[in-house]
Structure 1
Amino acid sequence: MSKAVITVVGQDKPGIIAAVASNLSKHHINILDVSQTIMQNIFTMSMLVNLETLDEQFNALQDELNQLGDKLGVTIHTQREEIFETMSRVSTQDQPF
């Protein structure tokens, strides 16, 4: 299964989750898991999504979500799951124990 991790960070305001979910739905992308919190008015959200039915190129989706983030006043970062996992492994290997 092809998956991606989407993170959203910015000032909290109504409609962020709805806008991101609506955009993904438009492309027939299923949200597999989502976690969100607000820390002192800073909104943070992480999503795991299924890309199997992506109806366009991944880079085009990234660009569209970046533009949506600009419109909402938040930062949206989209990574394929395998890249996210590789980066996590590399960063934890660099940590002294």
Structure 2
Amino acid sequence: MKTDRYVITVIGVDTVGIVAGVTKVMADFGVNIVDIRQTLMEDIFTMLMIGEVKNENFVLSDFQRIMNEVGASFKVEIRVQHEDVFRFMHRI
């Protein structure tokens, strides 16, 4: 079974429930958290995660759409990118 990894970034003004909302969607889609970093600078919330998917029925566009809806509900920006795309875009 193929394993895909995704970089998930969250940034915005801190509010109660952001982590719970994001991780619930991840659990619903079978995305396992491999690594997670979170920072709060005054009231600015940032979170960077690497999620891993071993489900061949996983549909990235559906996952991104639901993450965008969660982001809108918390007024934060959530981006989901395949790890290969993320690394390619950020290489020197």
| Distance 1:74-1:60 versus aligned 2 partners, 3 A rule | same
| Distance 1:17-1:82 versus aligned 2 partners, 3 A rule | same
Aligned-pair identity (%)? 34
Q: Secondary structure at the match of 2:90?
A: helix
Does the 8 Å contact 1:29/1:54 carry over to 2? no
Which protein is bigger by CA-based radius of gyration?
1
- State the aligned residue count: 90
Structure 1's unaligned 5+ residue stretches are: 93-97
| Distance 1:71-1:87 versus aligned 2 partners, 3 A rule | same
Q: Which has the higher helix share?
A: 1
Runs (4+) off by over 4 Å: none
Tell me which residue corresponds to 1:77. Answer: 79
Does the 8 Å contact 1:8/1:74 carry over to 2? yes
Tell me which residue corresponds to 2:7. Answer: 5
Q: Which has the higher strand share?
A: 2
Structure-2-length-normalised TM-score:
0.91
CA-to-aligned-CA distance 1:2-35 (integer Å, 9 cap, x gap): 1000000010011111110111101111010000
Q: In structure 2, how many angstroms separate the alpha carbons of the residues matched to 1:47 and 1:15? A: 16
Structure-1-length-normalised TM-score:
0.87
Structure 2's unaligned 5+ residue stretches are: none
Deviation (angstroms), 1:76? 0.2
